[in-house]
Amino acid sequence: MKIKIIALGKIKEKFLKDGIEEFLKRLVPYASVEMVELSAIEIKDENLTEKILEAEGEKILSHIKPLSYVITLEIQGKLLSSQEFAQKIETLTNEGTQEIVFVIGSSCGIAKTVSQRADFKLSMSKMTFLHQFARLILVEQIYRAFKIIKGETYHK
């Protein structure tokens, strides 16, 4: 299984970088994971938010292959337990999905074009997280999903 995580913005905090790197290392036996960091466009005028989201959306979509299964992280997405998330990944694998692409938008959200391209919209929580935290939580949950799928122990 190939997994691609497309995220806007750079991670500056060392503790977050270290956490993400740790889980990416742990994922090596289970999947090929690629992290694509795209530059977020700074919004200086709130009236330009939609236009900027569209521009970010074009950048995101240029990194998605036509046959990739796309999961966007969206506030209005579906809430899943870790078990349900693992089941989703296992089902996609069993159906022959070659690549799952996760998309984390900017702090202003995600372009409509990207949301429309999504095969599945996932909400991480009813709470709001910094986008940098969302990356760490996502890679940890992907790792947890593979541990669940393989029936291997992992801290509950």
Report field, pTM of the whole predicted structure over 0.85: yes
* Domain ranges (residues) in the chain: 2-150
Section 51-64 average pLDDT: 93
pLDDT at 94: 96
Nearest residue to 91 (alpha-carbon basis) of 149, 141, 33: 149
pLDDT at 98: 95
pLDDT per position as a tens digit, 17-56: 999 999 999 999 999 999 999 988 776 777 778 888 999 9
Of the options 3.30.465.10, 3.30.300.130, 2.130.10.10, 3.40.1280.10, the CATH number for the domain spanning 2-150: 3.40.1280.10
pLDDT at 103: 98
The edge-to-edge listing of strands for the beta sheet with 32-38 is 32-38, 2-8, 99-104, 69-79, 120-123
pLDDT per position as a tens digit, 106-126: 878 899 999 999 999 999 999
Q: How far apart are CA 66 and CA 69, in angstroms?
A: 9
Section 124-144 average pLDDT: 92
